[in-house]
Amino acid sequence: MPLTADDIQRNLDAVHRRMHEAARQSGRTIDDIRLIAVSKYMPARYVQWALSAGQHRFGENTVQEALSKQEQIKNPDIEWHFIGHLQSNKAKMIAGNIDWLHTLDSVKLATRLSTSALNSSHRLNVLLQVNIADDPDKFGLPAAALPQFIEDILRADLAGIQLRGLMTIGRREATPAQRQADFAALRELREDCMRRFELPRFNELSMGMSGDFEAAITEGSTMVRVGSALFGPRPTATAASSDI
């Protein structure tokens, strides 16, 4: 059943309450945790209603859908996050249109993103995607490969991108204890990289989704990516409406 603007307002309020409680229980401040509303495959009007309800950060996982929604909504106050796997031949479509990329996992892609960003006078914030649980169904760097990957990126001196932290997608099948352990492992990996490479701005952790973001907050997440808890079950890509 399609949602109404009131439904999205109620859902947004409920997610905020869960975030506040998770932050309180873990001794953190909610100001250090950002909600990324995952609007992929959702109608553009849902984004507009969430925006009217006070949500300004949205995540998309295809370049075409992100650009389509930007064209329909045309609001400079939105901060756009790209959370899907990106092919290097589409890097030029990201620069100037996306504020944060959560899924960097190749030097080739990093190089193209940097070049495109410099050409558009737009520096791109990037997170490195780590397959923290070695899940064969997930993209991302193995944890053991991360230090060498960062060395390669820094050696390439890619001025168009800013390394800001790590991202992971939880295992599809995992116990609560396993999820907690995965989130803790990513936090420890981020802290190790900050120290080893002296990257003071490498302080972001994008982890936690609708079903487990409280556990992610407990382990230090700074960005939670929430879709179904806000917008309901995800439709197919072709079912996403273009009207607002």
Per-residue confidence (pLDDT) for residue 243, from 0 to 100: 44
Report how far residue 138's alpha carbon sits from residue 122's, in angstroms, rounded to the nearest whole number. Answer: 29
DSSP 133-176: T--TTS-SB-GGGHHHHHHHHHHHT-TTEEEEEEE----SS--H
Report how far residue 46's alpha carbon sits from residue 104's, in angstroms, rounded to the nearest whole number. Answer: 28
Q: Which residues pair with 79 in a beta bridge?
A: 57
Q: What Rg do the C-alpha atoms of the chain give, in angstroms?
A: 17
Q: Supply 219's token pair.
A: 């382990």
Which tens digit of pLDDT belongs to each residue from 179-223?
A: 999 999 999 999 999 999 999 999 999 999 999 999 999 999 999
Phi and psi based region of residue 121 (left: phi greater than 0; alpha: psi -120 to 50; beta: remaining):
left
pLDDT over 50 at 242, yes or no: no
Q: How confident is the model at residue 239 (pLDDT cuts 50, 70, 90)?
A: very low
CATH code of the domain occupying 5-234: 3.20.20.10
- Of 46-50, 80-84, 130-134, 171-175, which gets the smallest average pLDDT? 171-175
Which tens digit of pLDDT belongs to each residue from 23-66?
A: 999 999 999 999 999 999 999 999 999 999 999 999 999 999 99
CA angle (111, 112, 114) in 5-degree steps = 65
Strands 100-104 and 57-60: unpaired
Size (the chain), residues: 244
Domain boundaries, the chain: 5-234
pLDDT over 80 at 244, yes or no: no
More confident of the two residues 52 and 137 = 52
pLDDT over 90 at 102, yes or no: yes
Cβ atoms within 10 Å, residue 233? 6
pLDDT over 70 at 240, yes or no: no
Cβ atoms of 15 and 35 closer than 8 Å: yes
